[in-house]
Amino acid sequence: MTRLTLKDEGYPFKKICQGHKWVGRVYKNADGKYVGKIGTNESKPQATERAAFEAVGAVHLGHASAEALHQHNSQVRAKNRAVNARVNHAMEGLRRGDFSAMDKLLDDVLRGEKKP
């Protein structure tokens, strides 16, 4: 998982960081619009710093646009919620002394049919 963050550290631009590493910046053009730059990727001028950050970040992470990245993240979050619900159900069964849900979960994982 890669996390990009936008940090304001008092410079005339805002830093784009990946973890602790500084990878890019968002700056204001002479026309008052904001541009994001990571390596050779540069966003089109945007109305807000956040929009420029999201546009260049999406391209940097291999997506066509910020909307495509939002859609991908939404799908990942939904999948993670389903996985967590399954594991939580198994753990609640264990707390009650019912091992059937955990047995099913482990059987599926060991057979390679489903990930936890």
Q: Give residue 96's domain range.
A: 68-111
pLDDT bin (cut points 50, 70, 90) of residue 106 is: confident
Given 22, 46, 62, which residue is the final one in a domain?
Answer: 62
Kindly report, residue by residue over 11-25, the tens digit of the pLDDT: 999 999 999 999 999
Same domain, 42 and 85: no
Dig out the tokens for 78 from the structure.
């939904």
Answering whether pTM is above 0.85, one says no
Residue 16 pairs in a beta bridge with 6, 24
Domain membership flag for residue 105: yes
- What 8-state DSSP symbol labels residue 113? S
Same domain, 12 and 57: yes
Q: How many domains does the chain have?
A: 2
Same domain, 56 and 8: yes
